[in-house]
Chains A and B, each alone.
Chain A
Amino acid sequence: MIRFDRVTKIYNKGSSPALRDCSVEIDKGEFVFLVGPSGSGKTTFMRLLLREELPTSGRIWAAGRELGRLSNWRVPYLRRNLGCVFQDFRLLANKTAFENVAFVLEVIGRPRPVIESQVNQVLDLVGLGQKKHRFPSELSGGEQQRVAIARAFVNRPLVLLADEPTGNLDPETSIGIMKLLEKINKTGTTIVMATHDAGLVDMMRRRVVELDQGSIVRDQHRGVYG
């Protein structure tokens, strides 16, 4: 599903690598925590998967494609298979929860009736069926993140990338988000989640990949944070 083969990423010539000789393989349906101190390369890992950046050396496969060989015009189609969620939600303020989620399907040209039913379904899944006509400013942080997850998941991606999705949320809300991601994982969606939250990682006991200064220093099944 996802494979990094000796991947090194250097942003600016001369600076030290953000990722250094990383090799890792993630199978379909896995739930992987990406942990490590600030600046260790977690976000870089995600950006490489989304092909927002190309590796300086090494090769990356995602959704059955080698990203280095993917022509530019195919990148959007790659991204349709990769949902992503961020610490800052990135919802559009002038659209309601429903419209934010529907936007994804609109943008990839789905017919209107399909949009209608799929969006309602996914909003029910994240538990926001009742609040779908609210604007982001009228939702709590946890609810906004649920909308963001609904948006990332509505197109049934093969992989869901979550970069510190609970970074802005209190512990209790974070657990709710975790449960939601677990539910999504159970549908067969691979989840890669970067996090600083030791409590969540220890609670879940899933695979943990630890980065430090760009190198993978630990890859542990049913692991803990530190």
Chain B
Amino acid sequence: MNNKLARKLITLALIVIIALIFGATTKSFYTLRNFQMLLREAAFIGLISLGVSFVIIGGCIDLSSGGIICFSGIVCARLAQMGAPGVVVLLGAVVAGCLCGAINGFCITKLKINDFVTTLASGYVFSGITLFLMFRDARGRIESPLIRSESFLVFGKHINGFYYITIAWIALAVIVYLVQSRTRFGLHVVSMGSSEKSSAMSGVPIGRLKFLTFVLCGAFCGLAAVFTVSYQATTYPNLGGGMGFQAVAACVIGGVVLGGGKGDATGAVFGSVFLVLILNGIYKYGLSTAWQYFIQGGIILIAIFFDALFGSLSQKRLELLSHADEIGTGGETLNAK
């Protein structure tokens, strides 16, 4: 069986197992309503991790997605309150996200600042800027007014219980998958993540490519912000808090390996579902916060352990293959002469 496929089945199996356990031990798990809510939340992390997956596959990391969402969120709210039509708000937020991504990309490719440090710092910067832009009451305290723009609130709605964000997420996941596996851009991102030096020697435009992955990541964060702000009909300074790390975690759980060159959109999708299942399923037990943290962390560790286990197994297989290859063929070349 194909390695990549096997890796995906592992995450899928984990999801099924966890879902079965939750279903058997809690009351309201197998309800349509619960699934719809889970999918909506998965879509939020999922959209972000789709963007982040580009960056990670390309061999970098982006921790600033939380900050980008925060910033795009306030752009959304401001535009909507100014009475801009929904589509304009959407575009505005996505552009805001791209801008943040471009700043990251510029620092990393042009100023050559380390990606980890850049995005950690820029995440704070974006959150900081958001605070400047926040709505304030007469005495200067931050407030979160309700957004009433009908054409914008549409994005938070659902059809038959399926939220637009879920639909957008799945559609985009398919597109991202195709982009990553079928286009030259996708191929180049994988090769850059796998070996930057070799790719450069082969004429892959590293700087431009890396820049683009960060911009794309920003765009996805902007999009995630639009749907979420619209659903909540407001924004607040802590929107997207912790999302930077969660999106990276979702990718890693789904087999998008830190360090680059491996994984794709399906991994990011499965990883997000898994993460949301863990983070939100636990609430149903009514455990103390201490236990919640403990179990959430524990299960994520287990998931990553499976990833590591799988990694070492497939490495062994690769070695075996390479030997088989050499016994089978290498030995006779001299005779052929």
A and B are partners in one complex rather than unrelated chains: no
